[in-house]
Amino acid sequence: MTEQISLPETAAFTKGVYTQVLNRPAGDDKRPALFLDRDGAVVVEAHYLHEVDKVKLIEGAAETIRAANELGIPVIFVTNQAGVGYGYFGWDAFLAVQERILGDLAELGASVDGVYACPFHEKGKPPYDH
């Protein structure tokens, strides 16, 4: 279902969906969270972003994420990755871009608590074609 790649220790594939929990909140209290669409809300929208050198944070994104961090509000990225589903690029390219984004945010004092990426699309290639 996925090519053989080296995943970060905190990441996994579950039924073809990439999940990464970077920081798990203490306790199980219900509380607000900030869910952000990665492409177009955090990084400048690029046509099937899969090249590290094309990563560019949107102005104000790091500051918004850092403000949520300071308030103790978990920040979660959600992202459709149809490019993986179409076979335009693999999870290795996604991971390289993701690590760059997390690194750029960290340099600006912002951190993300979780990442969820879905490659499925009705026009995708098997096994991502639903």
Q: What do you get for the CA distance between the two ends of the chain, in Å?
A: 13
**What are the contacts of 5-9 at 24+ separation with CB within 8 A?**
5/90, 5/91, 5/92, 5/95, 7/95, 8/95, 8/99
Sign of the torsion formed by the C-alpha atoms of 43, 81, 52 and 108: positive
**Which residue of the set 28, 29, 37, 113 is catalytic?**
37
**Which residue of the set 28, 39, 53, 113 is catalytic?**
39
Quote the CA–CA distance of 52 and 72 in Å, as a whole number: 29
- CA 92 vs. chain centroid, Å, equals 13
- φ, ψ (nearest 5 deg) of residue 82: -60, -30
Q: In the annotation, is 37 catalytic?
A: yes
Q: Which helix (H) or strand (E) holds 87?
A: none
Q: In the annotation, is 129 catalytic?
A: no
Catalytic residues: 37, 39
